[in-house]
Amino acid sequence: MKCPKCQTDNPDTVKFCGECGTNITSAEDARPSITETIETPKEELTSGSIFAGRYHIIEELGKGGMGKVYKVLDKETKERIALKLIKPEIASDYKTIERFRNELTTARRIIQKNVCRMYDINREKDIYYITMEFVSGGDLKKLIRRTKHLPTGTAISIAKQICEGLEEAHNLGNVHRDLKPSNIMIDDNGNARIMDFGIARSVKGKDLTGSGVMIGTPEYMSPEQIESKDVDQRSDIYSLGIIMYEMLTGRLPFEADTPFAVGVKHKSEAPKNPREFNPQIPNDLSGVILKCLEKNKEARYQSAGKVRSELNRIEKGFPTSERVEPKKKPLTSKEITVTFGLKRLFVPALVLTLLAVAVVLFWQFYPLKKGSPTAHVESSIAVLPFADLSPQKDQEFFCDGMTTEIISKLIKLKGWKVIPRTSVMQYKDTQKDVQQIGQELGVKNILEGSIQKEKDDIRIRATLIEVKDNQILWSDTYDQKLERVFDIQFDIAEKIAAALENEFSPEEEKLVQKRPTENMEAYTLYLQGRWYLDKREIGFSKAIESFEQAIQKDPDFALAYVGLADSYIIAGLYQDVPADHANIKGKEMIEKALDLDDTIGEAHATLGVLKSFSFDWEGAAEEYRRAIALNPNFAPAHHRYSYLLSFSGRHEEALQEALKAQELDPLSEVMMRGLGKVYYFADEHDLAIEKINHALEINPKSSDAYEFLFLAYLMKLNYRESLHSFDQYLKLHEYRVRIAKIEEVHSRFEYNKALQQVVELPSMQPYMRAIIHNILGEKDLTFKWLEKAYHEEFANIWRLKVEPVFENLHSDPRYQEFLEKMGFR
């Protein structure tokens, strides 16, 4: 309790402040009583009902000590999540709610595939509730009850995954404090997911002796928890030891009739060797469990990573057929077909017995299915490139800029499908008719137009066409001065909305009317800079020059700073500018942009890239999520976020973002290639090859696409196609050395021999050089070039954790050191 006078923290049990003597209970009593206003919902949350105006109730998932948990559809985000109602008797404690808020703030930082994400605590009228990630499956406690005890390989696999989740959480300073099988979900693919981080510490319970505060469940608590002492990560390791004990024996190490008696055993009684109850447990494994259960926390393993290393060592001694790897959830965009995979889960003698149980267990896999063609939606529109009808035909940059600006206004509207500029620009000077374009882009409406500009006079013609029957819904011509261009953009957007029978909300109208600058010279220079930046073959100096001139004309032009930041960053990636200098300048410019206007989604997306350069993954993720919240239709934010998720090993989430990016920008080679790369990192190589080949149909000169084809074909042991793709990669990079006699390659030996021709190319990028050395089995050289890539190639080294071609390095300490330096452990 905090003293209202001197702000000193005091124990809840004292009446007067120990520092200044103030009566602190009177201040507490003066606080409005929450108990008076919190009531149980008069109606149960039933399937089909709406809670808090936002959450569509799908079903009740269960009841716990805190209250009921429901599976719901969040109507705002269109995602299924879990919603936990907090019991009134818990929520009535003001301090408990504050602890919840504080703990969830830190718990949200945990981004790891074996930890269920916590979202937020909110209040709807008189009811407090917590939202969190929904995990489809069942808890580990139920699995143990059904199977009595788990096969050793399965138990080790689950324990290793728990260790990975704990390792990430502990590194971020989070201790669970209530780790137990009922708080560990086994999802539909057999993956372990730790639940309720940030909850246990917040809830007050009855102490074993009746006088203090106990956090946790007695059967799984460490001795220091029993004694209400401070706990750290080693308390979770003690709980993990109990979980492993229970998985392998079907029983707890300490059982008694009362919580007090259980607590006494934790503090004073040595656990029996688990081999007494299950002789099939290896000696080494029972030793690991007993070391986790040491009374003195100094004698336990000091980190979850150390436990995982021990489990890895023990597992390597198993026959291959008895090892259990968690299934990677195959990635699917739409439908999911469930089949059952019981291989390697149970020893053959138990298979017949457990087949009946398997139906209710969660060891399933999802076969891949291709997404359906882009569906037509109501407010869907493509703005085609405006034609340049100026006398000198010298206003292409202005026409392209006008196209982009109208798209950027429409794209901010909720519920609209607006095709981004990268897809529509492919229809510049096209001979295709409106109906064909609409079909290819999956939209119901097309806006086309033209611009004549001479000095400060402009004529803009715009026509809105319904694709289905080629009917003109609206058309207008604007003869104005250049200074009225923003008014014209707003009027066009407003007329489109009216023609499509949509009205702007006040918030949307404010967004569409927003002017980026009042200086027309600055605005023209900004459009010119964006045009140069898109024409990357011209070089980046002209783009940088144009944006700098725009800023000179208007120092408060936020979008110009964003354009300048993008120019520096991309120039650094293309090695036109030293990477360190490019990133420093980019960060300086983007911070200036956000100081001027922090509602620009594009700026937050760029800041996400910059934070990735310093391996601030959570900071980058927050920026991408902020960019998406500000502009849900901004495809590059979804695209970049998909990479971050993929590099962290969160492949299913990465796929959803990559699919969204590709849906928003269907003809973009970058988005299609990005989708293929996400499949590659997830070891879905057939789909990776399919998507990357589609990207090459859009842009046959994408060296990045050929790089990933080279690797994906290698993972499928298709040596000739791999070498052919790599040869194209070399050609596009204009390397003089090429791979000879590809058609004569029939074996891995011949494949490696062919790669020897190019491995010593002096201009080869370090990361690619590391890949080739690793393929050739030269580990020391691999790590030499990875070290160089770490310092020089920001974007490539991000892939290291999930690069399939480096899987053989995972047990090498040097590889683990890289992951630690990059913040992946």
The model's pLDDT over 154-194, given as tens digits with 9 standing for 90+, comes to 999 999 999 999 988 888 788 888 899 988 998 877 889 99
Please give the order of strands across the beta sheet that includes 192-194.
Answer: 137-139, 184-187, 192-194
Is it the case that residue 375 has pLDDT exceeding 50? no
DSSP 618-666: HHHHHHHHHHHHH-TT-HHHHHHHHHHHHHTT-HHHHHHHHHHHHHHST
Distance CA 603, CA 592 (A): 10
Sign of the Cα torsion 582, 588, 592, 593 reads positive
Nearest Cα to 297, choosing from 221, 209, 243, 184?
Answer: 221
Residues 6 or more apart whose Cβ sits within 8 Å of residue 170: 233, 236, 303, 304
11: pLDDT confidence band, cut at 50, 70 and 90?
low
| 379: its two tokens | 């407010």
Distance CA 71, CA 86 (A): 15
Distance CA 160, CA 165 (A): 9
Q: What are phi and psi of 652, to 5 degrees?
A: -65, -45
Of 32 and 259, the one with more pLDDT = 259
Q: What Rg do the C-alpha atoms of the chain give, in angstroms? A: 30
Share of the chain above pLDDT 70, in %: 83
Distance CA 466, CA 438 (A): 9
Nearest Cα to 319, choosing from 297, 348, 292, 290?
Answer: 348
Distance CA 784, CA 417 (A): 47
State the average pLDDT over residues 18-37: 45
- Determine the pLDDT at residue 203: 41
- Determine the pLDDT at residue 10: 63
310: pLDDT confidence band, cut at 50, 70 and 90?
very high
What's the Cα-to-Cα distance from 446 to each of 402, 436, 499, 709, rounded to whole Å? 15, 11, 12, 35
Give the single-character DSSP code of 214.
Answer: E
State the average pLDDT over residues 797-821: 91
**Do 501 and 553 share a domain, yes or no?**
no
As to burial, measured by CB atoms within 10 angstroms (0-12 exposed, 13-18 middle, 19+ buried), residue 92 is middle
- Determine the pLDDT at residue 43: 44
The model's pLDDT over 402-461, given as tens digits with 9 standing for 90+, comes to 888 888 888 877 778 888 877 888 888 777 888 889 888 888 999 988 888 887 888 899
Count of domains in the chain? 5
CB of 425 closer than 8 Å to CB of 555: no
Is it the case that residue 243 has pLDDT exceeding 80? yes
Distance CA 825, CA 819 (A): 6
362: pLDDT confidence band, cut at 50, 70 and 90?
very low
State the average pLDDT over residues 806-820: 90
- Determine the pLDDT at residue 539: 60
17: pLDDT confidence band, cut at 50, 70 and 90?
low
On whether residue 648 sits in a domain, the answer given is: no
- Determine the pLDDT at residue 173: 81
On whether residue 745 sits in a domain, the answer given is: yes
Is it the case that residue 364 has pLDDT exceeding 50? no
- Determine the pLDDT at residue 724: 93
Of 337 and 275, the one with more pLDDT = 275
- Determine the pLDDT at residue 620: 93
What's the Cα-to-Cα distance from 147 to each of 78, 151, 280, rounded to whole Å? 36, 9, 15
Chain centre to alpha carbon of residue 790: 22
Of 812 and 15, the one with more pLDDT = 812
706: pLDDT confidence band, cut at 50, 70 and 90?
very high
H or E segment to which residue 394 belongs: none
| Residue at a domain's end among 110, 134, 158 | 134
The model's pLDDT over 268-284, given as tens digits with 9 standing for 90+, comes to 899 999 999 998 899 99
Residues 6 or more apart whose Cβ sits within 8 Å of residue 26: none
- Determine the pLDDT at residue 418: 87
Question: Strand pairing of 380-383 and 445-454?
Answer: parallel
Return the axis-axis angle of helices 766-775 and 779-792, rounded to nearest 10°. 160
**Do 296 and 425 share a domain, yes or no?**
no
CATH number at residue 718: 1.25.40.10
State the average pLDDT over residues 528-548: 79
Distance CA 274, CA 270 (A): 12
Distance CA 213, CA 764 (A): 62
Distance CA 136, CA 154 (A): 19
| Residue at a domain's end among 481, 509, 537 | 509
**Do 445 and 470 share a domain, yes or no?**
yes
- Determine the pLDDT at residue 344: 37
On whether residue 744 sits in a domain, the answer given is: yes
**Do 681 and 620 share a domain, yes or no?**
no
What's the Cα-to-Cα distance from 410 to each of 379, 382, 641, rounded to whole Å? 10, 10, 22
What's the Cα-to-Cα distance from 138 to each of 84, 182, 185, 198, 653, rounded to whole Å? 16, 9, 6, 21, 20
Distance CA 678, CA 658 (A): 7
H or E segment to which residue 386 belongs: none
Question: Lowest-confidence range among 13-17, 249-253, 518-522?
Answer: 13-17
3-state secondary structure string, 541-601?
A: HHHHHHHHHHHHHCCCCHHHHHHHHHHHHHHHHCCCCCHHHHHHHHHHHHHHHHHHCCCCH
State the average pLDDT over residues 766-777: 92
- Determine the pLDDT at residue 363: 32
**Do 158 and 69 share a domain, yes or no?**
no
393: pLDDT confidence band, cut at 50, 70 and 90?
confident
Distance CA 174, CA 198 (A): 8
**Do 362 and 415 share a domain, yes or no?**
no
- Determine the pLDDT at residue 212: 37
- Determine the pLDDT at residue 361: 39
**Do 613 and 685 share a domain, yes or no?**
no
- Determine the pLDDT at residue 320: 54
339: pLDDT confidence band, cut at 50, 70 and 90?
very low
- Determine the pLDDT at residue 708: 95
- Determine the pLDDT at residue 618: 92
- Domain of 576? 516-632
Of 619 and 395, the one with more pLDDT = 619
- Determine the pLDDT at residue 216: 59
End-to-end CA, the chain: 36
**Do 401 and 335 share a domain, yes or no?**
no
- Determine the pLDDT at residue 541: 84
Q: Measured at the alpha carbon of residue 45, what is the angle toward residues 44 and 47, in degrees to the nearest 5?
A: 125
**Do 289 and 209 share a domain, yes or no?**
yes
230: pLDDT confidence band, cut at 50, 70 and 90?
confident
On whether residue 130 sits in a domain, the answer given is: yes
pTM of the model: 0.53
Q: Measured at the alpha carbon of residue 118, what is the angle toward residues 633 and 220, in degrees to the nearest 5?
A: 160
**Do 183 and 130 share a domain, yes or no?**
no
**Do 608 and 754 share a domain, yes or no?**
no
Sign of the Cα torsion 103, 108, 112, 113 reads positive
- Determine the pLDDT at residue 754: 87
On whether residue 576 sits in a domain, the answer given is: yes
Report the mean per-residue pLDDT for the chain.
81
E strands, 236-379, where?
Answer: 339-340, 364-365
Dihedral angle, C-alpha 476, 477, 481, 485, nearest 10 °: 40
State the average pLDDT over residues 801-822: 91
On whether residue 380 sits in a domain, the answer given is: yes
**Do 227 and 271 share a domain, yes or no?**
yes
On whether residue 557 sits in a domain, the answer given is: yes
Q: Measured at the alpha carbon of residue 675, what is the angle toward residues 810 and 721, in degrees to the nearest 5?
A: 70
| Residue at a domain's end among 102, 134, 166 | 134
- Determine the pLDDT at residue 1: 63
On whether residue 158 sits in a domain, the answer given is: yes
